[in-house]
Structure 1
Amino acid sequence: MSELVEHVDEHDNVLGVVERDEAVRENWPHRIATTICRDREGRILVVRRAETQPRFPGHYDVMVGGAVGVGESYEEAAARELSEELGVRVPVRFMFKFLCQKGISPVWFGVHEAVVTEPLTPDPGEIAWKGWLTEAELRAVVDQWLFVPGGREALRRYLRPGPKADEASVRRFAYSVAAAMPAGDSLEPTGHRHRSARQCPTKQRSPCQRGLTELRRAGLLDLDDCTMDGSHGDKPHPGVAERHS
């Protein structure tokens, strides 16, 4: 018996509970939760699926994730899948969802993003290779490498400029990012030095401000016109913006 998933319609409304293999066989839409990961330099994680994978073996992808369980939210499933496949526990932020018809069967992809600040320990049964690529590098190879069709479409939507996220939403994510960081972890670039704590703005910042700093460093907030204390003027990067399918 394969895992149970929720059979949904073209509007992502739940119709019932079925086995995932049955959903694929019958071409029934079901939900998949995924996350696009960035590191502190703003690069995007690219993985190559293991050759033993039943779906798209050996294909590249920018999404890490899997099926949403019965009664599970997209966000809960995305966080769980990150832990299972990459061995990391970090906050995920819901970005957008879309119905993808290009894969083995139609699925609703719930796409999230996360800033990863800890070492990755990929599950070898899921991931054969991983690497961090800049946006420019990704754009250059996404149509040349053998990418999962849904991952290629998600990447294009993710990089597409969209409406800005509201300030409260960005700040909640910033708090989560700061809370997930190891105690005493520095957010300053390599080689950064201050003569005293008074001269080091990072050491005096609130958790929200530390989180905003981390998002800026990862390229998820625009530095133009941003205030150093994070009180006003923060511009979400297109990757952190709320988008619609």
Structure 2
Amino acid sequence: MGELVERVDLQDRVVGVVERGEAVRNRWLYRMSMVICRDAEGRYLVHRRPDTSSRFPGEYSWLVAGAVEVGESYVAAARRELKEEMGVDAPVRFLFKFLCEGALSPYWFAVHEAVVGHQQIQPSPDEVAWHGWLSGSELAQDVPHRSYVPDSRDAFARYMELTAGERLSPP
């Protein structure tokens, strides 16, 4: 059996439990959670996915993201993904949530932020081939010109729109 997720409706209310693959195939809504990692100077963590990744191989992202498990909150999922992908156990702060069309299928996407130290980052080689830090202006220049995961681009545009660029300076 594959990864189980909660199928949700347009108001983000649970309507059932399904395999994530089934949700994707049928374009049923489910939940995803992500973390924007920043350092004390306000730079953003960017990483490249491994070339062997089943989803978006070799593409870049400025998000640490994954599906919300059955019975799990968005915040708990964000913390779990941060630990699994980057080896960091840190508090996350909810920023906003939106209905994402998704490159693979639609889902509710909750956006969180965490401040982490460089020495804390211990990326999983299954999830991260390379990582580095970009200032806000560097990230704004990088996203349109490099191959970023499509949903990462969508979240970046919304982040910029909702924060009107104010988050591009140190936290």
- Under a length normalisation based on structure 2, what TM-score does the superposition of the two structures give? 0.92
Within a 5 Å distance, the mapping from 1:89-238 to structure 2 comes to: 89-117=89-117, 118-162=119-163, 219-220=170-171
Amino acid at match of 1:18: V
Give runs of ≥4 in structure 1 deviating > 4 Å. none
Please give the alpha-carbon distance, in whole angstroms, between the structure 2 residues aligned to 1:104 and 1:92.
26
Equivalent pairs counted in the alignment come to 166
Tell me if 1:87 matches 2:87: yes
Unaligned runs of 5+ in 2: none
Query: Secondary structure of 1:98's partner?
Result: strand
What is residue 179 of structure 1 aligned with on the other side? Answer: none
Shift of 1:143: 1.1
Shift of 1:162: 4.2
Shift of 1:161: 4.8
What is residue 2 of structure 2 aligned with on the other side? Answer: 2
Query: Secondary structure of 1:6's partner?
Result: strand
What is residue 19 of structure 2 aligned with on the other side? Answer: 19
Shift of 1:119: 2.4
Please give the alpha-carbon distance, in whole angstroms, between the structure 2 residues aligned to 1:125 and 1:161.
32
What is residue 198 of structure 1 aligned with on the other side? Answer: none
- Identity over aligned residues, as a percent? 55
Amino acid at match of 2:29: P
Amino acid at match of 1:158: Y
Task: Decide whether aligned partners of structure 1 residues 41 and 152 sit closer, same or farther in structure 2, where only a CA change above 3 A counts.
Answer: same
Amino acid at match of 2:142: V
Q: Which structure's CA Rg is the greater one? A: 1
Shift of 1:160: 3.0
Provide Cα deviations, 1:25-78, integer angstroms capped at 9, x if missing partner: 111111111000001110001111112221111111111021101010000010
Tell me if 1:29 matches 2:33: no
Query: Secondary structure of 1:127's partner?
Result: coil
Amino acid at match of 2:156: L
Amino acid at match of 1:154: A
Query: Secondary structure of 1:76's partner?
Result: helix
Higher relative contact order (Cα pairs below 8 Å, separated by 6+ residues):
2
Query: Secondary structure of 1:219's partner?
Result: coil
Q: Which has the higher strand share?
A: 2
Please give the alpha-carbon distance, in whole angstroms, between the structure 1 residues aligned to 2:75 and 2:5.
15
Please give the alpha-carbon distance, in whole angstroms, between the structure 1 residues aligned to 2:162 and 2:110.
18
